[in-house]
């Protein structure tokens, strides 16, 4: 067995939440996340999934990424499910505020559903079943629709939404894809900009079309900026939120699939500006 292959399998197993032990044909441990050292010969293994391998397959970079993504999804789903279980158990205790606990459980179910929807949608994008770029669409009416749809949520968060832009500017995206991008960026601003802030959504022409969502709120630390578009990455401020951790990853995938680029600019206390630039027709 090649050392690099063994290292890959050990890394993949280490990223899994479920207990797994990988053994070779002589029942020696190849990889484990239950504390069994590599090379140790074992008999029966209780409470763990045991996999037997002869020669290790060559793992492609895509397979490694997919396995890591699956492990991350599993971890993210466990969080709302675990909280839901605690809430339902608490509802059975004497003197419990049942209505309040049930409402909290409902929110956890919604969180899990949003995560599943985002995971499925991202999967569709990556496998090519969702056509991102098809013709060109005038963007401003969709920006206005999204702002109207999120008006109540923004008001509750004390965030003001403002939409501006040229009425004739087009983006190389289907209407649904523009809506997906804008919704995710607006949701991000509503969650993290903070009370009293303003979120400006605009589409501009600068030799190329630019979709910008910028707020003047809390902002993001410099070391977080390069990782904002990673799946499930959360800044310290975002860890307590109910976001799925996939919204900005979806934005980046849609924009780049249409031949565009996306970048974020921010500083603590100076808000966050995300600009999506698209090539000219």
**pLDDT of residue 240 exceeding 70:** no
User: What is the helix (H) or strand (E) element at residue 175, kind and residue range?
Assistant: helix 175-192
Average pLDDT, the chain: 77
Beta-carbon contacts of 256 under 8 Å, excluding residues fewer than 6 positions away, are 262
Report the range out of 46-55, 89-98, 205-214 with the highest average pLDDT.
Answer: 205-214
- pLDDT given at position 130: 57
- pLDDT given at position 270: 82
Work out the average pLDDT over 50-73.
51
- pLDDT given at position 4: 61
Q: Which CATH class is domain 63-127?
A: mainly alpha
Instruction: Render pLDDT for 130-141 as a digit per residue (tens, 0 to 9).
Output: 566 667 889 999
Q: Is 272 helix (H, G, I), strand (E, B) or coil?
A: strand
Beta bridge partners, 16, equal none
DSSP character string of 47-64: SSEEEE-SSPPPPPHHHH
- Contact assessment for residue 261 and residue 277, using Cβ atoms and an 8 Å cutoff: yes
**pLDDT of residue 276 exceeding 50:** yes
**pLDDT of residue 97 exceeding 60:** yes
Domain boundaries along the sequence of the chain? 3-52, 63-127, 137-278
- Contact assessment for residue 224 and residue 188, using Cβ atoms and an 8 Å cutoff: no
Give the residue, 256 or 120, on which the prediction is more confident: 256
**pLDDT of residue 119 exceeding 80:** no
Q: Which CATH class is domain 137-278?
A: alpha beta
Q: How far apart are CA 41 and CA 64, in angstroms?
A: 26
**pLDDT of residue 62 exceeding 50:** no
Q: Which of 224, 230, 223 is nearest to 245 (CA)?
A: 230
């Amino acid at each position: 067995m090649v050392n690099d292959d063994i290292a890959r399998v050990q890394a993949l197993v280490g990223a899994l939440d479920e207990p797994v032990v990988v053994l070779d044909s002589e029942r020696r441990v190849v990889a484990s996340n239950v504390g069994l050292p590599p090379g140790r010969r074992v008999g029966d293994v209780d409470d763990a999934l045991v996999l037997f391998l002869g020669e290790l397959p060559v793992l492609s970079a895509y397979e490694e990424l997919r396995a890591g993504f699956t492990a991350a999804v599993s971890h993210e789903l466990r969080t709302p499910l675990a909280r839901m279980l605690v809430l339902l158990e608490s509802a059975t205790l004497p003197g419990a505020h049942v209505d309040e606990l049930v409402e909290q459980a409902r929110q956890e179910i919604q969180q899990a559903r949003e995560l599943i929807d985002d995971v499925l949608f991202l999967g569709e994008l990556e496998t090519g079943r969702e056509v991102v770029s098809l013709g060109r669409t005038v963007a401003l009416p969709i920006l206005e629709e999204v702002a109207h749809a999120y008006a109540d949520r923004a008001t509750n968060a004390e965030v003001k939404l403002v939409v501006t832009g040229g009425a004739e500017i087009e983006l190389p995206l289907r209407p649904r894809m523009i809506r997906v991008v804008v919704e995710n960026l607006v949701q991000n601003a509503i969650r993290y900009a903070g009370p009293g802030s303003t979120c400006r959504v605009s589409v501009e022409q600068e030799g190329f079309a630019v979709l910008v969502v910028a707020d003047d709120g809390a902002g993001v630390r410099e070391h977080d900026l390069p990782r904002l578009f990673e799946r499930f990455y959360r800044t310290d401020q975002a860890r307590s939120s109910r976001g799925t951790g996939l919204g900005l990853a979806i934005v980046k995938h849609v924009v780049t699939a249409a031949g565009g680029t996306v970048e974020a600019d921010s500083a603590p206390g100076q808000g966050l500006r995300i600009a999506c630039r698209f090539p000219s027709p």
